[in-house]
C-alpha cells in the first residue's frame, strides 16, 4: 500500500450523478502521477489510495460536503465594473482568474454591465455529489536517499497529513 509522501500512478474518472464526466485520465492515455498528501486529489480519494494495492479498482461516491463543498450563495459577489479591466467584454457564464493579495482566484462571470460585475467564487462543482472510479496503477517507490529528504518533522507537512489520515482511518472503522 502507498503512504503519504509517495508518488502513485492512478487512472481517475470523475462523474456527476447525471453521468456527465468532468475528469478522465484515460482520455489522456496515461495515468495521473500524484504525490499523496500534496492536495492534488480530494482527501477522501487520497485516503482510499492509501488503502489500495497496485492493480486494485474502487468506485467512491462523495457527497457535496466531501467533494467540492456545498454551494454558498454568499460567495456570489457584486464588484464595481471599474475594478476589472475590460469588464464589458467578460465571458458571461465563463470563468476568469483574478489576481489578489492571496494569489489567483477563479470566478464565474454571472453578469456584467457598465456599473457592476457579478462573480460567483464557488467551485464549479460545488453542491454536486460526485463519483470517482480510481485504478491504482502503481506506486513509485523512492530510493533510501530520496526518502531521507522527508525526515520526521520535515517542512512539507507529510508527517502531519499522515497522522491525520491515520486518525481518519481509525474513525471510519468505528
- Give me the residue label for grid cell 480519494: 45
Evaluate if residue 66 carries a pLDDT over 50: yes
pTM for the structure as a whole: 0.73
Distance CA 140, CA 169 (A): 23
Please give the backbone phi and psi of residue 147, each rounded to the nearest 5 degrees, phi first.
-65, -35
| Residue of higher predicted confidence among 38 and 42 | 42
Q: Which of 3-7, 35-39, 133-137, 154-158 has the lowest mean pLDDT?
A: 154-158
pLDDT at 2: 83
Residue % of the chain over a pLDDT of 90: 57
Evaluate if residue 5 carries a pLDDT over 60: yes
Mean pLDDT over the full length of the chain: 86
- Give ranges for CATH 3.10.50.40 in the chain: 7-68+127-173
Q: What is the pLDDT of residues 114-171, one digit of tens each?
A: 899 999 999 999 999 999 999 999 998 766 665 556 555 555 656 656 666 666 655 5
- Give ranges for CATH 2.40.10.330 in the chain: 73-120
Evaluate if residue 40 carries a pLDDT over 60: yes
Cβ distance 34 to 47 under 8 Å? no
CA distances from residue 44 to 48, 65, 87, 129 in whole angstroms, order as listed = 6, 11, 38, 13
**DSSP H helical segments within the chain, as ranges?**
25-28, 43-50, 144-148, 158-173
pLDDT at 128: 97
Of 87, 136, 137, nearest in space to 107 by CA: 87
Cβ distance 12 to 132 under 8 Å? yes
CATH number of 73-120: 2.40.10.330
pLDDT at 83: 86
7-68+127-173 maps to CATH 3.40.50.620: no
- Is 48 in a helix, a strand, or coil? helix
Amino acid at each position: 500500500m502507498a503512504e503519504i509522501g509517495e508518488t502513485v500512478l492512478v487512472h481517475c474518472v470523475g462523474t456527476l450523478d447525471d453521468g456527465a464526466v468532468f475528469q478522465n485520465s484515460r482520455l489522456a492515455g496515461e495515468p495521473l502521477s500524484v504525490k499523496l498528501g500534496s492536495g492534488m486529489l480530494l482527501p477522501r480519494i487520497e485516503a482510499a489510495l492509501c488503502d489500495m494495492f497496485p492493480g486494485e479498482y474502487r468506485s467512491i461516491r462523495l457527497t457535496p460536503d466531501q467533494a467540492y463543498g456545498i454551494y454558498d450563495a454568499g460567495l456570489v459577489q457584486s464588484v464595481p465594473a471599474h475594478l476589472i479591466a475590460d469588464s464589458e467584454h467578460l465571458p458571461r457564464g465563463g470563468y476568469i482568474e483574478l489576481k489578489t493579495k492571496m494569489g489567483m482566484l477563479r470566478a464565474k462571470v454571472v453578469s456584467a454591465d457598465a456599473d457592476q460585475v457579478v462573480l460567483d467564487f464557488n467551485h464549479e462543482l460545488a453542491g454536486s455529489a460526485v463519483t470517482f472510479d480510481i485504478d491504482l496503477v502503481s506506486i513509485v517507490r523512492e530510493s533510501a536517499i530520496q526518502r531521507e529528504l522527508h525526515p520526521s518533522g520535515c517542512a512539507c507537512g507529510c508527517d502531519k497529513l499522515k497522522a491525520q489520515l491515520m486518525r481518519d482511518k481509525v474513525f471510519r472503522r468505528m
